[in-house]
């Protein structure tokens, strides 16, 4: 049992370094990661990763597609050496890009080389776009990399229920997460439920809706009530749903603020307000390769506002630990 106090939502009031979730393969994952989508392969990303480690983050979410694994790897190496922190205390996620699904073994080697690592903690199929035959072939190579000790855990991203069902019957090693968009303006509730039902944890990307709706009155009112920022309210909502959240920032004070999530609790009234903000505001897909293009224009689509409050949202069966 954790020694820290457990709140009404079942969340241990620890801190960003200690807050972990147990995956179905037995490995533990820090519930908050620094996301590095649209972060360049240079000193700005190195600084952001180091500031994040200084602030207590122990999990970085990168991808081959983001073209910044080298910067992440440099920061990781420098910071762990300078602070005498063992590699095992840091959790690194990266992802297999669509075009590499037929050569996943090589792509894994390339990511290991760029990250300067012996193993990757979590490796994801970035999207199901190339089709079931392709992602099943990639999965076999990922399983072989787990066997070889090059990857600890494997999972998927942007998979709908039918994609999960085209993969799960064929696997020897089960996917532990599905990384999908989720924030109060697009909770992705149905897919969250379908994913959790199949035993995968939710990793929520764009957890602050890319900063697009932080000035909404409903969010500001809850922020004022708790003496927190609107971004912290959106992030805490994800925490209380049991999502693993991946806030991205390259800005020092925001990286620090986005880590201050474990010293307050949203009550059921707050959660009801947030759960009723779902407008289907999907932030969209990745831009073209090698660019820092924003989410595709027109990605936002109309959605329906829920009529029920928090009751409609699936919480995952969290297995928290505070190690």
Ligand X SMILES: NC(=O)c1ccc[n+]([C@@H]2O[C@H](COP(=O)([O-])OP(=O)(O)OC[C@H]3O[C@@H](n4cnc5c(N)ncnc54)[C@H](OP(=O)(O)O)[C@@H]3O)[C@@H](O)[C@H]2O)c1
Positions marked active-site: 66
Shortest Cβ 307–ligand X spacing (Å): 26
The C-alpha atoms of residue 220 and residue 2 are separated, in whole angstroms, by: 33
Among 231, 266, 271, 313, binds ligand X (CB under 6 A): 231
Among 14, 37, 51, 72, binds ligand X (CB under 6 A): 37
Nearer of residues 21 and 257 to ligand X, judged by Cβ: 257
Strand order in the sheet with 244-245: 34-35, 59-61, 91-96, 120-125, 151-157, 177-181, 201-205, 244-245
Residue number, nearest CB to ligand X: 35
Measuring CA to CA, which residue among 36, 16, 29 is closest to residue 259? 16
Q: Binding site for substrate: which residues? A: 126
Q: How does DSSP classify residue 315?
A: P
Asked if residues 98 and 127 have their Cβ atoms less than 8 Å apart, the reply is yes
Among 209, 271, 277, 313, binds ligand X (CB under 6 A): 209
Measuring CA to CA, which residue among 24, 18, 19 is closest to residue 317? 24
Is residue 211 at the binding interface for ligand X, with CB under 6 A as the rule? yes
Among 257, 261, 281, 320, binds ligand X (CB under 6 A): 257
Q: How does DSSP classify residue 12?
A: B
Shortest Cβ 283–ligand X spacing (Å): 6
Which regions of 80-132 does DSSP assign to beta strands (E)?
Answer: 91-96, 120-125
List phi, psi (to 5°) of 211.
75, 10
Is residue 23 at the binding interface for ligand X, with CB under 6 A as the rule? no
Q: Binding site: which residues? A: 126
Is residue 248 at the binding interface for ligand X, with CB under 6 A as the rule? yes
Is residue 157 at the binding interface for ligand X, with CB under 6 A as the rule? yes
154 beta partners: 123
Is residue 210 at the binding interface for ligand X, with CB under 6 A as the rule? yes
Is residue 179 at the binding interface for ligand X, with CB under 6 A as the rule? yes
Residues that bind ligand X (CB under 6 A): 35-37, 61, 126, 157-158, 179, 205-211, 214, 229, 231, 246-251, 254, 257-258, 286
């Amino acid at each position: 049992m954790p020694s820290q106090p457990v709140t009404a939502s079942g969340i241990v009031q620890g801190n960003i370094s200690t807050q972990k979730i147990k995956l179905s393969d037995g490995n533990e994952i820090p519930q908050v990661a620094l996301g590095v989508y649209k972060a360049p392969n240079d000193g700005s990303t190195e600084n952001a990763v180091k500031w994040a480690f200084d602030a207590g983050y122990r999990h970085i979410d990168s991808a081959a597609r983001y073209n910044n694994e080298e910067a992440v790897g440099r920061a990781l190496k420098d910071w762990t050496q300078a602070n005498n922190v063992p590699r095992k205390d840091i959790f690194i996620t990266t992802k297999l890009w669509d075009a590499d699904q037929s050569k996943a073994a090589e792509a894994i080697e390339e990511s290991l080389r760029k990250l300067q690592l012996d193993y990757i903690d979590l490796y994801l199929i970035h999207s199901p776009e190339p089709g079931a035959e392709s992602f099943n072939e990639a999965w076999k190579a990922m399983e072989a990399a787990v066997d070889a000790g090059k990857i600890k855990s494997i999972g998927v991203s942007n998979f709908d229920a039918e994609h999960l069902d085209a993969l799960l019957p064929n696997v020897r090693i089960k996917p532990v997460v599905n990384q999908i968009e989720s924030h109060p303006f697009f909770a992705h509730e149905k897919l969250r439920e379908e994913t959790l039902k199949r035993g995968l944890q939710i990793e929520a990307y764009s957890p602050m809706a890319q900063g697009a709706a932080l000035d909404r009155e409903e969010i500001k009112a809850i922020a004022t009530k708790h003496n927190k920022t609107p971004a912290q309210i959106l992030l805490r909502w994800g925490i209380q749903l049991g999502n693993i959240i991946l806030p991205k920032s390259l800005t020092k004070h925001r990286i620090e603020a986005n880590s201050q999530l474990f010293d307050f609790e949203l009550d059921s009234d707050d959660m009801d307000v947030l759960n009723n903000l779902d407008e289907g505001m999907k932030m969209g897909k990745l831009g073209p390769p090698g660019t820092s293009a924003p989410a595709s224009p027109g990605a936002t689509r109309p959605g329906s506002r829920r009529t029920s409050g928090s009751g409609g949202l699936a919480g995952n069966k969290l297995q928290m630990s505070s190690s």
